[in-house]
Homo-oligomer: A and B are copies of this chain.
Amino acid sequence: MSIKSTLEKVISEDLAEIWSLLNSEEKRQITDNFEIHNFKKNQIIYAEKDNPVYLWCLLKGKVKLYKDGIGGRQQILRLYRPIQYFGYRAYFASEPYVSSAAAFEASTVGSLPMDVVKSMIDNNRDLAWFFIHELSKNLGGSDTKIVTLTQKHIRGRLAEALILLIDNYGFEDDGKTLKIYMAREDIANLSNMTTSNAIRTLSAFAQERIITVDGRRIKIVDEAKLRQISKFG
């Protein structure tokens, strides 16, 4: 995709929150520098230790931010949905990435050079506040995650992960089925447990009629119970 008018249309429709903060010169700056990329399922967008160059904007699909740990164990840190921005933290911290981003499913992602973003922030206080706000919310989330992942038991952690999936991606039209199709391994990586234990605990939840499981389709039957377990059970 490279035709200007198409790009501007896509961008103005999708950049939503940020777009409304910009004047026409800033909008031109974006359309001139914005590039659209397609990533296949499981394809890596950027990797830990890379140097940050772009602001990424997820336009379509699902993206996970994760960190590879000990013995190939992966921890999923955050999940993104359209329209959300990622990949800017490391640039702002003047350091290489400490985590990696990968497409969870086939995804369309826009990129904008961070030096363009930087100069725009210099001249647009609303944009500065946008990032201050995002970073602050994420930091609160990570601080909370430190405690829940280290202190809650397996059932609590899995319940919390399922709630996160509800909050992030919502339900199918039936209002019950999670709108994300995720491998057991990824559920495990989200909840800090082994794949075996994710499988086991999902089965237990199913037996207790909290959820139903049909392959990768997970239906939330008793969300209240799930929230209760998440608060420790």
Tell me whether A146 and B144 are in contact (CB under 8 A). no
A1 beta carbon closer than 8 Å to chain B: no
The reply to whether the CB of A95 lies closer than 8 angstroms to some CB of chain B is yes
Copies of this chain, count:
2
Establish whether residues A146 and B232, one from each chain, have CB atoms under 8 Å apart when the complex forms: no
A150 to B191, CA, bound (A): 10
Expressed in whole angstroms, the Cα–Cα distance for A45 and B207 within the complex equals 46
Q: Is the CB of A70 within 8 A of B152?
A: yes
A132 with B67: CB separation less than 8 A: no
Binds B, one of A4-12, A134-142, A179-187, A213-221: A134-142
Q: Among B73, B142, B147, B151, point to the contact of A139 (Cβ < 8 A).
A: B142
- Tell yes or no: A22 within 8 A of B by CB: no
How many Å lie between the Cα of A131 and that of B134 in the bound state? Answer: 12
Cβ A94 vs Cβ B133 within 8 A: yes
Q: Which residues of B contact A144 (CB under 8 A)?
A: 67, 98
B70 touches A133 (CB 8 A): no
A41 at the interface (CB under 8 A from B): no
One of A29-37, A121-129, A164-172 contacting the partner: A121-129
Chain A contact patch, size range: 35 or more
* Known A99-B143, A143-B98: A136·B67 in contact at CB below 8 Å: no
- Contact call B75/A147, Cβ cutoff below 8 A: yes
- Asked whether any CB of chain B lies closer than 8 Å to the CB of A27, the reply is no
Q: How far is the CB of A80 from chain B (nearest CB, A)?
A: 14
CB nearest to A91 among chain B residues: B136
Compute how far the CA of A77 lies from the CA of B92 in the bound complex, rounded to whole angstroms: 21
Contact A149 B152 (CB under 8 A): no
Determine the chain B residues whose CB is within 8 A of the CB of A225 once the complex forms.
Answer: none
- 24 pairs, CB–CB < 8 Å, chain A vs chain B: A67-B144, A67-B147, A69-B151, A70-B151, A75-B147, A77-B143, A89-B136, A89-B140, A92-B135, A93-B133, A93-B136, A93-B140, A95-B137, A98-B144, A121-B132, A122-B125, A125-B128, A128-B128, A131-B132, A132-B132, A135-B135, A145-B146, A146-B149, A149-B150
